[in-house]
Structure 1
Amino acid sequence: MDEIINLGNSMIQHGKHNDRVYLMKLDKNDVSDVLYNIEEKAKENDYSKIFAKVPYGCEKEFLAKGYMVEGHVPEMVKGENDVLFLGKFLKEWRSKDEDPNLKLVLEKALRKKEEGNTLNNENKLISKYYIRLLDKKDSKEMAKVYSEVFETYPFPIHDPNYIEETMDDNLVYFGVFMEGKLIAISSCEMDVKNLNVEMTDFATLPECRGNGLAVNLLMVMEEEMVRRDIKTAYTIARAKSYGMNITFAKLEYEHSGTLIKNTNIGGDFETMNIWWKKLKK
């Protein structure tokens, strides 16, 4: 699995699993050192991509080195300042995704958004299930669900010990249960300092899909994040997934970019869509 390293007050992940360097957090005082280090890491390991989250105003040195803006999240830092999502493609094959379905998925999701809120009927389905916060005693069952849903994943969510560790590190998990069995999961990865959250790690058992569970999870997640004074929510969703893109569109998230062949999920490098929303009390 890819390794996470702290560089000053910044954080990167790198490894062969995703064949990339991922700049997860950048402190404005670390820009020059971090840029040098991620370039060296990519060169040493012959990676095919560098993916970087860069606060607006810190991007100049990156753009001068050949990075391109793939997307952004407005008001990501404390509900005020934007963050750019930059990519640098080090091998030609990584810079293109010619799957025609990706455009169709996004177009359908955007049409759903234009149609307005259609959640009332889906809310009725929740009576068959119940949703609650998950804790460490759920970790083995969570790992089992993730193992069934994902062949591979950018982080070791198939490992109960890893899941338990993340619960101590600003991750909050939610689960849908039916007759006492965990059937769907999601998580909120909070950046408490900057008041933003990534809505992520959605997984529903195959036999339980098509019941609006992800939409219901997302509504509960938003309520919990508002309670915790988080200002901005975003996701990086699989571009080929009708369900996930439509879920965020239905809840009035805005599409703000596409990350080409960004993440190894299910044994393939997948293109991802960025969706974001300003949370309101």
Structure 2
Amino acid sequence: MAEHVEIFGNSLVQHDPAARRATLALLDPEEAPGVIRHLELLASSRGYTNVSARVPAAHVRHFVGAGYRLEAAIPHFYGEGETACFLVRHFGEAQDTERMSLLLSRILAATEMHSLAGPVSLPEGGALRLVEPSEIGDVVSLYRRVGVAKPAAVDDPIFLHNFLGRGDLFLGLWIEGILVAACAAIFDPTTGTAELAHFVVLPEHRGKGLALLLLQRIGELSAACGARLLWSTVRAYAPGINITFAKGGYHFGGTLTNNSYIYGATESVNVWHKCLADDPALAWSSLF
């Protein structure tokens, strides 16, 4: 079942009946009490087990008072430097404690051992470019071969056509004419941010730094499109992608516990972020 999008006043709520979870993606500050009541009604009426919210720091108190827990934050997410706070409330039988805390700690410790990486070279026979509408079939084949971690419809041609049509970016890496890796940037013009998502590399091409190459290039392209801050949520139990973001100069923002439905099971995700004003290589990219 596809994800639903609801407009509540001037606020935006996304929810997924299959995963039994809802997310407040955009909050109108004037609507905080009403939105909180709406989210609780939505969860109770549909049997949802997890409701998360991304809100400006000034309004966290409303959610904490309603039983939400602060789990992550991204400084300077909103205008005038205001922090975005990620909160969660678990309902019913949902677990609100980390089930794999030792693994999570070891992965985060591993990320701290890696310093900022230099530019990654394009592999021999490689071509790194934005996906064109005529190449959507290649993207669909790639995701269907590897599998889709989250129910985001990136293996659906219609979803991808709409994705490219609204101005978001899909970056692909072809080697000898075969698409072997991809990622995306989803822009939010209201905050000037871009969410980096849908990273995928064919198994036989992993361990070669291709994810880092994608991360570096999608950052440059996002900066050229006007994004001032990049962020992402990645699987907390996957060492490779977390280390990739650390090597890319991103900062760890927190862990969202049992927050995502990945490969058919509930998992935690880590939040990573980078303010482009702090990175001259991106802020003054030669792409301008």
| TM-score bracket for the superposition, by shorter chain length | over 0.9
The residue number in structure 2 matching 1:177 is 174
Distance 2:210 2:3 in 1: 30
Matched residue of 1:126: which SS?
A: coil
Letter in 1 for 2:77: M
1:246 maps to a residue whose letter is I
Contact 2:186 2:197 in 1 (8 A): yes
CA distance in 1, matches of 2:80, 2:223: 12
Q: Which residue of 1 aligns with 2:241?
A: 244
Structure 1, unpaired ranges of 5+: none
Moved more, 83-92 or 182-191: 83-92
Contact 1:236 1:275 in 2 (8 A): yes
Out of 52-61 and 2-11, give the one that drifted further.
Answer: 2-11
> Contact 1:17/1:264 (CA < 8 Å) preserved in 2?
no
Question: SS of the counterpart of 2:22?
Answer: strand
Runs of 4+ in 1 over 4 A off after TM superposition: none
SS of 1:58's equivalent? helix
Cα distance change, pair 125–134 in 1 and its aligned pair in 2 (3 A): closer
> For residue 257 of structure 1, what is the aligned residue in structure 2?
254
The amino acid that maps onto 1:135 is E
SS in 2 for 1:248: helix
Please name the residue that 1:87 is paired with: 88
Instruction: Specify whether residues 193 and 93 from structure 1 end up closer, same or farther in structure 2 by C-alpha distance, changes over 3 A only.
Output: closer
Residue 276 of structure 2 aligns with which residue? 279
**Percent pairwise identity:** 27
- CA shift for structure 1 position 109: 1.1
Q: Residue type matched to 2:112 in 1?
A: L
Q: TM-score by structure 2 length?
A: 0.90
Shift of 1:119: 3.1
**Structure 1, residues 8-32: CA drift from partner, whole Å, max 9, x if none?**
2221111232221111111223322
SS at match of 1:261: strand
Distance 1:150 1:182, change over 3 A: same
**2:88 match: secondary structure:** strand
Match of residue 228, structure 2, among 226, 231, 238 = 231
Partner of 1:101: 103
> How many residues were matched structurally?
276
Q: CA deviation at 1:151?
A: 4.6
SS of 2:271 mapped into structure 1: strand
- C-alpha contact 1:150 1:265 (8 A) present in aligned 2: no
Q: Find the counterpart in structure 1 of residue 286 from structure 2.
A: none
Unpaired segments ≥5 residues, structure 2: 278-282, 284-288
Tell me the equivalent position of 1:189. Answer: 186
Residue 170 to residue 95, structure 1, CA distance change in 2 (3 Å): farther
1:270 aligns with 267
